[in-house]
Amino acid sequence: MDDTLLALLRSVDTPTVCNAIEVAQGKRGFDRFTRGTVQCSAPQEGAIVGYARTAQISAVAPPTEAPEVIRARRMDYYRHMASGPRPALAVIEDLDGADAVGAFWGEINTTVHKGFGLSGALTNGVMRDLGDLPEGFPVIAGSVGPSHAFVHVRSIAAPVNLFGMTVADGDLVHADRHGALVIPPEVIPALTTAIGKLLDTEKIVLNAARAEGFDFDAFEVAWTAFEKART
């Protein structure tokens, strides 16, 4: 992914990328996106784009492994987050699922990850310290809560599942307040053109609908042109 495409992806929202992937694929049916509602710590900051650095955590109950094992794994986790290709984002599955109570993402952890050069975090788990999180590091989470509970790292770099979407370590992810998606590698060369085509075709309807005197007849003309342009 070159700098021009990265800047473009950061400038558009995740629904736009979702549609553009279908334009690049020439068909509907792309399904590597999240399901359900997410919480976003900084919706005004726009999209997070980067290669996934994955891990799994749990917090409902204390870890059953020896403390030295837990400490060593946590250090391995941070080593993993500090390495790898950039741009990157942390993609963390909370194994507690709907029962998640431990906020892994607060002021300290977000600041550490930002210092490592990551662009943000995506998790089905919990975040906290809203208002104190660093600028330039959005967190997209499943919920907001006050406690870290017994949060501990369970695995590093394994495939994870968040909101019905599977993500492998190294996958290219686009995420914002709408949710997230994995960009298929095969569409990357065509994505700039696809986004441009999508935005141009949408203007056919949007410009007509915003024009003075818009009515059904004008809509019919615009929609016919819109459908022709997107086929």
Same domain, 127 and 37: yes
- The C-alpha atoms of residue 229 and residue 231 are separated, in whole angstroms, by 6
pLDDT digits (tens, 9 = 90+) for 119-166: 999 999 999 999 999 999 999 999 999 999 999 999 999 999 999 999
Same domain, 98 and 210: no
In eight-state DSSP terms, residue 13 is -
Task: Kindly tell me the number of DSSP H helices and DSSP E strands found in the chain.
Answer: 6, 13
Q: Does a structural domain hold residue 5?
A: no
Looking at residue 1, its pLDDT comes to: 82
Same domain, 48 and 156: yes
- The C-alpha atoms of residue 56 and residue 155 are separated, in whole angstroms, by 5
Tokens of 20: 């553009």
- The C-alpha atoms of residue 133 and residue 160 are separated, in whole angstroms, by 24
Its domain, for residue 103, covers 31-183
- Closest to 84 (Cα-Cα) out of 151, 154, 172: 172
Tokens of 173: 């992810």
Same domain, 48 and 143: yes
Number of domains in the chain: 2
Same domain, 65 and 38: yes
Same domain, 100 and 194: no
Taking the chain, what is the end-to-end CA distance rounded to the nearest angstrom? 27
Same domain, 67 and 176: yes
Same domain, 120 and 165: yes
Residues of the chain with pLDDT under 50: none
- Measured at the alpha carbon of residue 110, what is the angle toward residues 66 and 2, in degrees to the nearest 5? 115
Looking at residue 122, its pLDDT comes to: 98
- The C-alpha atoms of residue 146 and residue 9 are separated, in whole angstroms, by 33
Same domain, 167 and 216: no
Answer whether 174's CB lies under 8 Å from 181's CB.
yes
Same domain, 212 and 179: no
pTM: 0.94
Looking at residue 188, its pLDDT comes to: 97
Looking at residue 6, its pLDDT comes to: 96
Answer whether 127's CB lies under 8 Å from 139's CB.
yes
Q: Does a structural domain hold residue 46?
A: yes
Q: Does a structural domain hold residue 21?
A: no
Same domain, 212 and 178: no
Looking at residue 231, its pLDDT comes to: 61
